[in-house]
Chains A and B, each alone.
Chain A
Amino acid sequence: MTLNRRTFLKDAAFLVAGMGLNVGWTPRFAEALELLATGRAPLLWLQGLSCSGCSVSLINSEAPGPAALMTRYLSLYFHQTLSAATGESAVDAVNRAIESGDYLLAVEGAVPVGMPAACRIGHEPYSDLLLRAARRAKAVLAVGTCASFGGIPAAPPSPTGSIGSDVFLRQQGVETACVNLPGCPAHPAWVVASIVHLLKKGIPTLDEHRRPLQIYGKLLHDQCQNFALYQKKEFSTRQGEAGCLFKLGCQGVITHADCPMRGWNGGSSWCVKVNAPCVGCTRPEFSRDPGYAFYRLNEQGNEGGADA
């Protein structure tokens, strides 16, 4: 295939702008995209305790689009939801990939360390497969909150004893570097940009939770379209009402991500824009405290309710 340099430059410019980098990075990103395209950077994608939401999110990628991602950008050795290979040939593809090594390993879903039988692929517990694959990987990309921190499967009482991939790999003595891309799901641009970053510049600058600072460096609240309303104390007190959602339970004040600036599904929207409080899905603590409701409507002096 004749690869068009201009396409790479165009897509690189989009990525660089999306990550808030100086335009001077564009040529280097274009080069990285080209590297991806010529297949020197294969990707192996494995799923543990996941809902496939991060995979579905990834194919919502706008630029590059999903078809380009699969052919021009990624050499996708295996992906459970997309691969033609099935059954034995799928297991064989995974094993051949692992044997050859030097791929990026993207993982989606939590690791059920307390109950390895809670997730099996080709009859092998996912936790064992993850260990095998991570040992031979160039780097691990934990896509989504489940893969990063355990997510909902790790919420109490977590019958499967689930944890995030990075913690699991460290516990098992695997030294491959891991980058966390939490979000429920992860935004496709976060995934694409991080893959490019890993290939071109290596591990991006990370925060204490191993999240790239470029994406998770700012508090949502500080970038929120309702920030002025918050300052004017114009709060929404019931569902669907305009106003800052802080008093309904919005977690934008403790959540780090670029959703307000980036927007979802083609940049058209994000949670707060539709009067829905941020549920803190990029936080390590997402969904983990059953006492901390997403909507605090039952805590505003209404306890006991009308029929109590």
Chain B
Amino acid sequence: MGKVTIDPVTRVEGHLRVSTETKGGTIHQARVAGEMYRGFEQILAGRDPLDAPVITQRICGVCPVSHAIASSRCVENALELPPPLSGKLLRNLILGANFLQSHILHFYQLSALDFLNIEGILSLKTRDPQLQELKGWVVQELDSNRILPAAPFLPRLKGDYPADLSWTQNLLSHYLQALDMRRKAHSMIALLGWKVPHVASIVPGGVTCTPTYGELEAFRGHLYILRRFIESVYLPDVMATAKQFPDYTRLGTGLRRFLAFGAFPEAEGDWLPSGTVDSRSFSSLREGEIREETAYSWYVDAPEQETSLPDPEKEGAYSWIKAPRYGGKACEVGPLARLIVAYHAGQPSVKEMVDDCMNRLRLNHSALKSVFGRHLARALEAQLLARRMEVWLDQIDPETSHVAEYVPRSQGSGSGLIEAPRGALGHWITIAEGRIATYQCMVPSTWNFSPMGGRKDPGPVESALLGTPVARDSQGLEAARVVRSFDPCIACAVH
């Protein structure tokens, strides 16, 4: 029996520790732990309800937009302040642009180095000036007497990196291109009138910006370039990488239980549906089934609805992340969950796209529930979303107001359930005497990276790691690939 601990897991947001035990060459036990806590829920108590979107989006610098919207929606529900349709559509565009930047960043900057042989660049014969420059830099670095040559790209973990030079060259060159693409997606957010990270104009009631036709068309121009990148580079890269790693279209399956809160409201309701899929059967979402457990988390066990107090000395606990459960069960959330829920809810564009992709890869649909299933789901969602954003863009009328008039109320309670790039996100608020009485966030990575719950049932990532074969001299690369396929965001998971 061997033990491998990966601490810190890098190329993820935040502080994550993963420990595994192997028996007979495969992982038979895994524990994931969030290693950072700030206490946002306590900090919010007693503040003005309109502070909530400003404060909560600072839970996470990668997905602030999702928190701003979930937070605004819970305040809107508590104060009965429905935003106008154009406010919702503008939020969709901002959230959509952040999905695109997040998914692109995840595949290239955060995950690709798990698969890519970066030293392969030394054998490249290329005319791409950017790659030539990168190659020159690596050569110079390796020849230098620096203590960490070619950091942050080296050192890396030992493992089975493919020798295919043309695939290596593509992925390397696209790693560089993706940096510009994700920045462009952020510029789109700013174009509509923001700065990002931490947007300024999403408020309870809508959005405060008033984009002109010129700004909307500039947004469309950027969107077109991103769409082309997703269709001709990002999705093909994920598919080509999946072909290099057939094992990882089977590994990292996990719970096979999926949950989605629904997202991107349109006039007729959410574009991506809410619901759960458990062993292929779809059910609609019941908010009352959501609970959070703290048996193995560093919090004082408290009754529902009360803000949890930290207890870093708690006996038996091993993570700052709590354990959300739906109907008492752990669930996977995220792009794959959204895709599977939409597929089983019968969303035609999702069905068609998924069937086509799996056919082209000559893979059975069960291969979706894997490491590469998650990467594919992200890329497919990005493609679908980039196309849908053009529809929303056409529906914005710059002449109308995008925000409802604020009417103060001194009490109320409400929830804001949406989808963040990494999955189902919920904010809950109660307001008393005009101030926040209690505030709760359950964030996608809280679901996916949850520790064991009250019945010692493992969280989704802990389950997905089980059965992963590892090399005898493994430094943890196999486990890291499974873990990163969930796109960890630990500042979100704990907050």
Q: Interface of A with B (CB < 8 Å)?
A: 1-2, 39, 42, 47, 49-57, 59-60, 62, 65-67, 70-72, 75-93, 96-97, 99-100, 110, 115, 117-123, 151-153, 155-160, 162, 184-185, 238-240, 242, 259, 264-266, 268-271, 273-276, 279, 281, 287, 290, 293-295, 297-298, 302-308
Report which residue of A57, A66, A78, A159 has the largest number of chain B beta carbons within 10 angstroms of its beta carbon. Answer: A159
Across the interface, do B194 and A269 meet the contact criterion of CB distance under 8 Å? yes
User: Which A residue sits closest to B195, measured CB to CB?
Assistant: A264
Across the interface, do A93 and B151 meet the contact criterion of CB distance under 8 Å? yes
Option from A59, A99, A159 in Cβ contact (under 8 Å) with B183: A59
Across the interface, do A290 and B46 meet the contact criterion of CB distance under 8 Å? yes
The interface residues of chain A lying within 8 Å CB-to-CB of B43 are: 152-153, 155-158
The interface residues of chain A lying within 8 Å CB-to-CB of B455 are: none
Given contacts A50-B491, A70-B152, contact A265 B187 (CB under 8 A): yes
Option from B48, B134, B312, B411 in Cβ contact (under 8 Å) with A298: B48
Across the interface, do B210 and A240 meet the contact criterion of CB distance under 8 Å? yes
Nearest-CB distance from B224 to chain A (Å)?
17
Q: Could you list 26 A-B pairs, sorted by A, with CB under 8 Å? A: A49-B38, A50-B14, A50-B61, A51-B197, A52-B62, A53-B60, A65-B183, A67-B134, A76-B151, A83-B10, A97-B147, A120-B17, A151-B58, A156-B43, A160-B38, A185-B197, A264-B194, A265-B186, A265-B189, A265-B190, A269-B193, A274-B210, A287-B54, A297-B50, A303-B434, A306-B409
Across the interface, do A115 and B148 meet the contact criterion of CB distance under 8 Å? no
Option from B13, B118, B198, B401 in Cβ contact (under 8 Å) with A84: B118
Option from B55, B146, B407 in Cβ contact (under 8 Å) with A306: B407
Report which residue of A49, A72, A83, A100 has the largest number of chain B beta carbons within 10 angstroms of its beta carbon. Answer: A83
The interface residues of chain B lying within 8 Å CB-to-CB of A1 are: 133, 136-137, 139-140
The interface residues of chain A lying within 8 Å CB-to-CB of B310 are: 115, 118, 159-160
Across the interface, do A264 and B407 meet the contact criterion of CB distance under 8 Å? no
Nearest-CB distance from B241 to chain A (Å)?
16
The interface residues of chain A lying within 8 Å CB-to-CB of B166 are: none
Option from B6, B37, B197 in Cβ contact (under 8 Å) with A160: B37
Number of CB contacts from chain A to chain B under 8 A:
328
The interface residues of chain A lying within 8 Å CB-to-CB of B130 are: 67
Across the interface, do A84 and B153 meet the contact criterion of CB distance under 8 Å? yes
Does chain A have a CB within 8 A of B459?
no
Q: Within the assembled complex, what's the spacing in Å between the Cα atoms of A226 and B26? A: 63
Does chain A have a CB within 8 A of B201?
yes
The interface residues of chain A lying within 8 Å CB-to-CB of B148 are: 42, 75, 77-78, 93, 96-97
Given contacts A118-B310, A118-B312, A308-B410, contact A265 B476 (CB under 8 A): no
B390-439 residues at the A interface, CB under 8 angstroms: 401-403, 405-412, 434
Given contacts A78-B151, A85-B155, A266-B187, contact A118 B198 (CB under 8 A): no
Option from A51, A81, A306 in Cβ contact (under 8 Å) with B59: A51
The interface residues of chain B lying within 8 Å CB-to-CB of A85 are: 10, 151-152, 154-157
Across the interface, do B136 and A185 meet the contact criterion of CB distance under 8 Å? no
Closest 5 CB pairs of A and B: A53-B61, A1-B136, A265-B190, A274-B193, A264-B195
Does chain A have a CB within 8 A of B260?
no
Q: Within the assembled complex, what's the spacing in Å between the Cα atoms of A110 and B362? A: 49
Q: Within the assembled complex, what's the spacing in Å between the Cα atoms of A107 and B255? A: 38
Across the interface, do B200 and A84 meet the contact criterion of CB distance under 8 Å? no
The interface residues of chain B lying within 8 Å CB-to-CB of A96 are: 147-148
The interface residues of chain B lying within 8 Å CB-to-CB of A293 are: 47-48, 50-51
Across the interface, do A56 and B62 meet the contact criterion of CB distance under 8 Å? yes
Across the interface, do A84 and B152 meet the contact criterion of CB distance under 8 Å? yes
Majority DSSP secondary structure for residues of A touching B? loop
Q: Within the assembled complex, what's the spacing in Å between the Cα atoms of A180 and B231? A: 42
User: Which A residue sits closest to B309, measured CB to CB?
Assistant: A159
The interface residues of chain A lying within 8 Å CB-to-CB of B194 are: 264-265, 269, 274
Across the interface, do B7 and A122 meet the contact criterion of CB distance under 8 Å? yes
Across the interface, do B55 and A287 meet the contact criterion of CB distance under 8 Å? yes
Option from A54, A162, A270 in Cβ contact (under 8 Å) with B38: A162
Given contacts A51-B58, A156-B43, A265-B195, contact A88 B475 (CB under 8 A): yes
Across the interface, do B193 and A273 meet the contact criterion of CB distance under 8 Å? yes
User: Which B residue sits closest to A61, measured CB to CB?
Assistant: B183
Nearest-CB distance from B6 to chain A (Å)?
4
Contact with A along B117-139 (1 / 0, CB 8 A): 01000000000001001101101
The interface residues of chain A lying within 8 Å CB-to-CB of B13 are: 51-52, 81
Across the interface, do B406 and A297 meet the contact criterion of CB distance under 8 Å? yes
The interface residues of chain A lying within 8 Å CB-to-CB of B200 are: 270-271, 274, 276, 279
The interface residues of chain B lying within 8 Å CB-to-CB of A240 are: 206-210, 401-403
User: Which A residue sits closest to B56, measured CB to CB?
Assistant: A152
The interface residues of chain A lying within 8 Å CB-to-CB of B409 are: 305-308
User: Which B residue sits closest to A264, measured CB to CB?
Assistant: B195
Across the interface, do A87 and B60 meet the contact criterion of CB distance under 8 Å? no
Nearest-CB distance from B418 to chain A (Å)?
18
Given contacts A240-B401, A240-B403, A294-B54, contact A83 B408 (CB under 8 A): no
Q: Within the assembled complex, what's the spacing in Å between the Cα atoms of A192 and B59? A: 25
Contact with A along B32-45 (1 / 0, CB 8 A): 00011111101100
Does chain A have a CB within 8 A of B233?
no
New A-B contacts (15) at CB < 8 Å, excluding given A60-B186, A265-B186: A42-B148, A52-B62, A53-B198, A67-B130, A86-B480, A87-B475, A151-B58, A239-B208, A239-B403, A265-B190, A270-B200, A274-B193, A279-B200, A295-B48, A295-B51
Nearest-CB distance from A180 to chain B (Å)?
18
Does chain A have a CB within 8 A of B471?
no
Q: Within the assembled complex, what's the spacing in Å between the Cα atoms of A171 and B311? A: 26
Does chain A have a CB within 8 A of B453?
no
The interface residues of chain B lying within 8 Å CB-to-CB of A269 are: 190-191, 193-195
User: Which A residue sits closest to B312, measured CB to CB?
Assistant: A117
Across the interface, do A305 and B8 meet the contact criterion of CB distance under 8 Å? no
The interface residues of chain B lying within 8 Å CB-to-CB of A83 are: 10-11, 151-152
Does chain A have a CB within 8 A of B361?
no
Across the interface, do A53 and B187 meet the contact criterion of CB distance under 8 Å? no
Given contacts A123-B7, A305-B408, contact A51 B60 (CB under 8 A): yes
